[in-house]
Amino acid sequence: MEYTELAGSLIIENEKILLLYREDEGYWEVPGGKVEGEESPTEAAVREAREEIGVELELRKPFYTGEFEHDGTLFLWHCYLAETSEEPELKEEKFGKLEWFNGSELDELDLAPNLEMVLPALRKLGRK
């Protein structure tokens, strides 16, 4: 079965997780998107963060790789724990908000399907 390969970054600062609200989909997600052409998932994660929130990332380590299905399409998602010394700000119109959340707040949000899969781990990362 064919799948679409995605890569994203989980940015945590002061025990809060950075999420972007995607207006057209109606859910919160991490910075990320499709792996293009010959780029690696790590290269895609760094590029997407630059395009979406205007920061250069340092990927610390892999967080999760797994498959999920959404609207009849199979995706392979690579997510990395990442850091930046820069202040993220929205750069693309598809996002309406950029906010930091602690783990206990995540249950109140409409999360992207890939984040729903890893919600227990996200709650632990964003403690307080």
What is the reported pTM? 0.93
The C-alpha atoms of residue 42 and residue 35 are separated, in whole angstroms, by: 9
The C-alpha atoms of residue 14 and residue 60 are separated, in whole angstroms, by: 16
Q: Read off the pLDDT of residues 39-70 as tens digits, 9 standing for 90 and up.
A: 999 999 999 999 999 999 999 999 999 999 88
The CATH number covering residue 51 comes to 3.90.79.10
* Residue 127 pLDDT exceeds 80: no
Q: Which domain holds residue 18?
A: 4-125
Best CA proximity match to 63, nearest among 3, 14, 120, 101: 120
* Residue 126 pLDDT exceeds 80: no
The C-alpha atoms of residue 92 and residue 41 are separated, in whole angstroms, by: 21
DSSP of 22-84, one letter per residue? ETTTTEEE-SEEE--TT--HHHHHHHHHHHHH----EEEEEEEEEEEEETTEEEEEEEEEEE-
* DSSP state for residue 21 in the 8-state scheme: E
* Residue 33 pLDDT exceeds 70: yes
Domain count, the chain: 1
Q: What is the mean pLDDT of the chain?
A: 94
* Residue 128 pLDDT exceeds 60: no
